[in-house]
Each structure stands twice: as structure tokens, then as C-alpha cells.
């Protein structure tokens, strides 16, 4: 192994010897201590390897033995350098390319986001831009742990965020859940009030005084759990304390629902035979169109497919190839039949109820009805649900205390 590497570093040639006496040629090489190896006999003489330096000692031997020497192959570093020297501009270009790739490896050239459903890629990348994290940002300036905390804080419906730098790519993994609760001071006294009108289905109170029970009808803004604790002895109030109310309250209520679909609509009919494509090359922000078709005579939609150069896995470069398909169309006025309109509105209603269920709202029933108008088909009614209710409302402890002045005498004035 070491000997083979040494031969490669020194450089050697594979030659063919033919003529009057090739055997004598080989013997004379041995007599003159010229090292040869891998000797093979062929129909027209011999083939063997010899160092590049020793090759120039073969001319007298060839004349003496009346043999001809032909170089079949040049192997080793010296010959590689000779080739490069002849192509110096290629060599300089190669060095420039290597240096450019090394330099580009210090930047982010691709941002990928996965797991996001409630928030679009555009919303997240816009926020990243506010934090000065964009395509072309320096990798050392991106602190993934800090970025995770910022994303969790800004996007309330995220339960977990993990970002990582892989090659020249920034990957942001997101797991979404229910909207994060706003952090409040749980030591500050407050009541819990109803946010909607409805019927109490269940109430589990952890702190505070419940003012309603199962089956009670409540109005919007009614106090469900009071932050006032009356400490009694039998029926007599001995002291009053104030606390931060906390409870799980579920009420049966209704959500108004309304949706409209106009009978007349515009249908796009695409003209397949008129479709045209444009290919473009982009380096950083500089874009060159190979041939942009003339589509002035048509109204058209475009579909763009962009491919980013990735010479090595996860090592993206700011080089893009884009194919744009221009799809001309004609607009044709059409009219939904009542059956079609009802089916579309029904599917919209089902989708709306699914979204409610995704937010942990239990659907009981609905009384949505469909009716025809002169120009449109209308769905209207209510969706009856059971949902968690109750919002905190802070109160001024001093004002609330005035309602119980008779219980705060000089003797118990220190009562909290």
C-alpha cells in the first residue's frame, strides 16, 4: 500500500516494448539497475511499468536492442499537475468554485417549516424577517434556542417549537395545539364571568364562591364564580377574604350561523393548446428568463415550479431553475342549480362544525335552514353546542371591601 502510494507520488508510465529482442531489452534494464514492475508478455512484445525519471534512461537500450518503446499511459501526481498547468484557467476556476462553496456554506439559503396548520409559511417567514432571519442570513448569528422561545411566545397556538441548522438549511419544526393561555397574576382577586348566554351544564370550582349550579340559565357577563369568600359561623359572616377565582365551567349555548352563495358564478375554461412555458435561471436575486412567451392576447393563470440546486444533501446554494407554465383561459358565466347550491352550503356547514370540534367544542345539533333568494341561496340558523366558558374579571379590592365594612372593625382590620 505504501509502495503503491510512493509510486503514484513519484509518477510512472506504462510502456510497451516491441522489436528485434524485447527480452534482451528487459535484461539490460536489470543490468543497469532500472526498476520495472508489472511485466506482462503480449503478442507484440512486453508491457510493464517504469518510473518517469527512469524512462529517460531507456533510449540507449532501445537502440542497442533495436526495440521501439511506446507510452501507453501516464500515471501519478506529476502528470496531473502538468495537465492542470496546461489548463491554468480551468484550475483557477476550480479553486474559485471551491472557495465560493466554502464561503456560501456560512449562510442560510433555504428555510423549511413543518407541522404548521393554523399559521401559514408566509406568516412565520414574515415574523422571522422581523427578527432579521431571512435567506442569506449568517448561520453563526442564528441562535436556535432563542429563536424557539421567540416563536413560542409570538404564536399562541404552538405547543412546541424546535429549530435546527442542517447544512445551509434552517428547519423549523412546529407542533400546534390549543391557543396558549395568557399568563395572568393568579394572586390578584377576580371573578369569573360568562362570555355567552346559555345553560350551565357542569361547574367544578377550585377557588372562589360559585354563584350558579347545573341547570341555571346565565346571561352574558353574569358572575359565575365570585372572588369573594365569606367566612361564616352558622349563618353569621365573621370575615371576608378575596381570592383569584378558578373553575371549569361548561355551558350549553348556541352559535349563530349564516352563509350565502350567489347562483351566478364565473367558471374558468382553460385552453390547453395555448399553454406555454418559460424557463428561468436565478442566482441570488438576479433572474434571467430564457424565453418569456407573449401572452398579451390572453387572460392567464401561472403555475411556477422552482428547483433549488442541492449538490450535497441539505447543502443548498442560492441557484434556482424555474419553470413557469402560462395557462390561458376564457371566463364563462354559469349558474348553480338549487341542488348544487344546497350541496355546497351543506359542505361548508359541515366544515365549519368540524373546526368547532377541533377547538374542543361539543356539537349537539343545529337548526340551519336553506332558503332561496332572487340572486342567491342562503343558509341561516344556529348551531347548539356545549363549550367551556368563563373569563376572569379583576375587581378593585378596596371597592369590594366597602360592601363589607361592618365586618372590618378595628379588631379585625388586619383580616386579609
Note the pLDDT of residue 414.
44
Cβ–Cβ under 8 Å, residues 287 and 280: yes
Mean pLDDT of 409-415: 45
Q: What is the torsional sign of CA 201, 202, 208, 211?
A: positive
pLDDT at 193 over 50: yes
How large is the greatest C-alpha to C-alpha distance in the chain, in angstroms? 135
pLDDT in tens, 214-272: 999 999 999 999 999 988 887 788 888 999 999 999 999 999 999 999 999 999 999 99
pLDDT in tens, 64-104: 999 999 999 999 888 877 776 667 777 788 889 889 999 99
Q: b or e along 175-199 (b: 16 or more beta carbons within 10 Å of the residue's beta carbon)?
A: ebeeeeeeeeeeeebbbbbbbeebe
CA separation for the pair 168, 145 (Å, rounded):
18
Cβ–Cβ under 8 Å, residues 269 and 319: no
With bands split at pLDDT 50, 70 and 90, how would you rate the model's confidence at 301?
very high
CA separation for the pair 193, 392 (Å, rounded):
6
Percent of the chain topping pLDDT 70:
94
Note the pLDDT of residue 226.
96
CA separation for the pair 272, 217 (Å, rounded):
62
Mean pLDDT of 121-148: 95
Angstrom distances, CA of residue 188 to CA of 2, 185, 191, 208, 245: 80, 6, 10, 12, 9
Note the pLDDT of residue 406.
67
CA terminus-to-terminus distance, the chain: 88
CA separation for the pair 210, 187 (Å, rounded):
18
Note the pLDDT of residue 7.
86
Note the pLDDT of residue 408.
55
Amino acid at each position: 500500500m505504501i509502495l503503491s502510494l510512493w509510486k503514484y507520488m513519484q509518477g510512472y508510465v506504462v510502456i510497451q516494448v516491441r522489436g528485434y529482442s524485447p527480452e534482451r531489452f528487459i535484461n539490460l534494464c536489470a543490468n543497469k539497475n532500472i526498476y520495472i514492475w508489472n511485466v506482462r508478455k503480449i503478442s507484440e512484445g512486453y508491457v510493464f511499468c517504469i518510473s518517469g525519471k527512469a524512462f529517460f534512461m531507456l533510449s540507449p537500450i532501445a537502440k542497442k536492442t533495436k526495440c521501439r518503446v511506446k507510452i501507453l499511459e501516464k500515471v501519478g501526481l506529476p502528470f496531473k499537475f502538468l495537465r492542470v498547468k496546461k489548463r491554468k484557467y480551468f484550475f483557477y476556476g476550480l479553486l474559485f468554485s471551491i472557495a465560493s462553496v466554502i464561503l456560501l456554506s456560512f449562510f442560510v439559503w433555504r428555510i423549511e417549516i413543518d407541522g404548521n396548520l393554523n399559521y401559514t409559511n408566509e406568516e412565520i417567514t414574515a415574523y422571522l424577517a422581523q427578527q432579521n432571519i431571512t435567506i442569506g442570513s449568517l448561520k453563526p448569528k442564528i441562535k436556535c434556542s432563542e429563536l424557539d422561545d421567540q416563536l413560542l411566545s409570538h404564536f399562541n397556538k404552538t405547543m412546541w417549537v424546535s429549530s435546527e441548522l442542517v447544512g445551509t438549511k434552517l428547519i423549523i419544526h412546529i407542533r400546534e395545539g390549543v391557543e396558549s393561555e395568557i399568563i395572568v397574576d393568579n394572586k390578584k382577586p377576580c371573578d369569573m364571568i360568562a362570555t355567552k348566554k346559555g345553560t350551565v351544564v357542569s361547574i367544578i370550582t377550585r377557588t372562589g364562591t360559585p354563584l350558579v349550579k347545573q341547570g341555571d340559565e346565565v346571561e352574558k357577563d353574569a358572575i359565575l364564580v365570585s372572588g369573594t369568600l365569606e367566612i361564616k359561623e352558622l349563618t353569621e359572616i365573621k370575615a371576608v377574604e378575596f381570592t383569584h377565582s378558578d373553575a371549569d365551567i361548561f355551558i350549553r349555548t348556541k352559535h349563530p350561523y349564516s352563509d350565502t352563495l350567489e347562483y351566478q358564478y364565473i367558471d374558468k375554461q382553460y385552453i390547453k393548446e395555448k399553454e406555454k412555458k418559460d424557463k428561468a435561471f436565478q442566482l441570488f436575486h438576479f433572474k434571467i428568463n430564457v424565453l418569456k412567451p407573449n401572452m398579451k392576447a390572453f387572460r392567464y393563470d401561472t403555475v411556477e415550479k422552482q428547483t433549488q440546486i442541492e449538490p450535497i444533501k441539505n447543502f443548498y446554494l442560492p441557484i434556482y431553475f424555474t419553470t413557469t407554465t402560462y395557462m390561458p383561459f376564457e371566463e364563462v358565466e354559469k349558474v348553480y342549480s338549487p341542488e348544487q347550491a344546497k350541496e355546497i352550503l351543506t359542505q361548508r356547514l359541515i366544515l365549519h362544525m368540524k373546526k368547532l370540534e377541533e377547538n374542543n367544542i361539543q356539537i349537539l345539533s343545529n337548526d340551519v335552514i336553506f332558503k332561496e333568494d332572487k340572486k342567491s341561496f342562503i343558509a341561516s340558523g344556529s348551531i347548539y353546542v356545549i363549550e367551556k366558558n368563563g373569563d376572569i374579571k379583576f375587581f378593585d379590592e378596596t371597592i369590594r371591601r366597602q360592601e363589607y365594612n361592618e365586618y372590618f372593625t378595628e379588631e379585625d382590620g388586619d383580616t386579609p
